[in-house]
Amino acid sequence: MVSEKTSPVAVVMGSDSDKAVMQNCIDMLKGFGIEPTVRIISAHRTPAMAAEFAETAAERGLKVIIAAAGMAAHLAGALAAKTTLPVIGVPLISGSGLEGIDALLSTVQMPGGVPVATVAVGKPGAKNAAVLAVQILALSDEGLAKKLAEFKKAQQKKVVEKDSALQGN
């Protein structure tokens, strides 16, 4: 197994081609002061590695796993099947011509008892996965809860400023 630094969040991608989109997630987590564990693990090409990663995640200090994949997009479900930690799935656009709908359905349509919290396809989903992970962690971390509240206020301020500019104020 690859050694990893202790982090409460892991960002796992099915392929290195997913990193361009998932960098949005990584950057968002870093903005909240979380240096995520980042891995490339394939549900289909390295299934034993995926199982071992998920089975040992909690004992390594992980609290949330973010899993991104396109096409069949089985990574999030494969990890969720092997851990009790929350798993957030980020469906990605592949070259299938389906604009990520295939990955979205694969990620969201999990059997009862094996949940995967699923966010939007692509870059918006990558950012939302990071925010959702922070929201989960903020339940037991006052510092993160404060950063999250500040983030929400900053988002609100940006919209109000844009509206004001549009109104000519």
pLDDT digits (tens, 9 = 90+) for 126-156: 999 999 999 999 999 999 999 999 999 999 9
Strand 64-70 with 117-118, pairing: unpaired
Going from N- to C-terminal start, the domains of the chain cover 9-138, 142-169
* 163, two tokens: 């509206």
Q: What is the pLDDT of residues 38-79, one digit of tens each?
A: 999 999 999 999 999 999 999 999 999 999 999 899 999 999
Contact residues for 104 (Cβ-Cβ < 8 A; gap 6+): 73, 91, 118, 121
Class for the domain spanning 9-138: alpha beta
3-state secondary structure of 40: strand
Nearest Cα neighbor of 36 from 49, 51, 48, 19 is 19
